[in-house]
Amino acid sequence: MIYLAIDIGGTSIKGGFYEESGNCLKGFSFPTHGDLPGTESFAAFISNLKNEVEAFADRDSIVAAGIGCPGTIDSLKGICNFANNLDWHEVNIREAIESIIHRPVFVTNDANAALLGEMTYGDCKKYRSAILLTLGTGIGGGIYLNGELFDGEEGKGAELGHMVIVKDGEPCTCGRKGCFEAYASATALIRHGQEGVARNPNSLLAKSLVTAKSIFDAAKAGDVLANECVDWYVEHLGIGVLNYINIFRPQAIIFSGGVSNAGDRLLNPLREYLEKENWGIAGRWCAKPVLAIASLGDRSGRLGALALAVRKSK
Ligand SMILES: [Zn+2]
């Protein structure tokens, strides 16, 4: 049995023909063409995919396909309702791919796919429950409970970035103010760093472009401003993480996305914050959740799409 697994990203679409074990028999990658109108980039994707499937000798052994896609996804219908950076509106991914492989196609959003990948093929596969937070341009979220993904009606839940943590706070892309995403995404960290640089033009941080990496690097080098930025960031991240610990009491919290590249320089101060807060209301009487960095790197989306296809087609 062979599965088609695809991870649609902002710059490239990566996929492959896989065995259930996670072994990739043949991989492929196409540019996303985010510069083109959405109808054209989607048509190019489907055309490229059709060529790949036709060139794959064992195509008759494909039993199902799994797709991870950014944006708002209707996982029941397999439609991308809206993906801002792809300019996709009401794009029927399932129908288009089923017409190529003539087998069932399952679609989920990219954060859910990444979490499924980590929980099926990554270091956290030994756990039954986890929360995933992708700390990138925004915050992507995924919830995994009792061995299964929890994604709400039509797969539209688990928007973990849009919990308000500061009343009347920073504006969020969703239209509300004070969302977790507006304080704990990479964008928020960079914004805070830039504001600090404007006030402290002589700081080490002012000597290069402000990025999540430059902030953590300057903090390690002892820069006062950068350390203030990291403290500010970790405190806001900690507020959100602690809320999720109180609600779900997961075995693991998994971090991915740009800020997670800081590794222990992120996790150690976060762990200190959570210790100070006793790991939540039940923390004294319960095992502490493991804080982990996603272990599969950029393969998590594809392997999650594979896990989705395998699980749904059984
Ligand atoms: Zn929001």
Domains of the chain: 2-117+298-312 (3.30.420.40), 127-294 (3.30.420.40)
Q: What is the pLDDT of residue 257?
A: 94
CA of 310 relative to ligand 1 center, distance in Å:
33
CA of 181 relative to ligand 1 center, distance in Å:
6
Q: What is the pLDDT of residue 85?
A: 85
CA of 174 relative to ligand 1 center, distance in Å:
4
CA of 170 relative to ligand 1 center, distance in Å:
10
Q: What is the pLDDT of residue 33?
A: 92
Angstrom distance (rounded) from CA 67 to CA 92:
12
Angstrom distance (rounded) from CA 135 to CA 157:
18
In what helix (H) or strand (E) does residue 12 lie, and over which residues does it extend? strand 12-18
CA of 39 relative to ligand 1 center, distance in Å:
27
CA of 254 relative to ligand 1 center, distance in Å:
21
**In 214-285, beta strands by DSSP E:** 252-256
Query: Within the chain, which residues score under 70 in pLDDT?
Result: none
DSSP characters over 157-205: ---GGG-B-STT-SB-TTS-BSBTHHHHSHHHHHHHHHHHHHH-TTSGG
CA of 161 relative to ligand 1 center, distance in Å:
6
Task: Answer whether 230's CB lies under 8 Å from 238's CB.
Answer: no
CA of 173 relative to ligand 1 center, distance in Å:
6
CA of 139 relative to ligand 1 center, distance in Å:
9
CA of 160 relative to ligand 1 center, distance in Å:
9
- Nearest by Cα to 134 from 83, 190, 71, 184: 184
CA of 27 relative to ligand 1 center, distance in Å:
35
Site of tokens 């203030």: 228
CA of 133 relative to ligand 1 center, distance in Å:
14
Q: Please report, to the nearest 10 degrees, the dihedral formed by the alpha carbons of residues 277, 282, 288, 291 taken in order.
A: -60
Q: What is the pLDDT of residue 10?
A: 87
- Nearest by Cα to 152 from 229, 72, 212, 58: 72
CA of 260 relative to ligand 1 center, distance in Å:
21
> HSE-up of 216 (CA within 13 Å, CB side)?
18
CA of 137 relative to ligand 1 center, distance in Å:
12
Residues with Cβ within 8 Å of residue 96, at least 6 apart in sequence: 42, 46
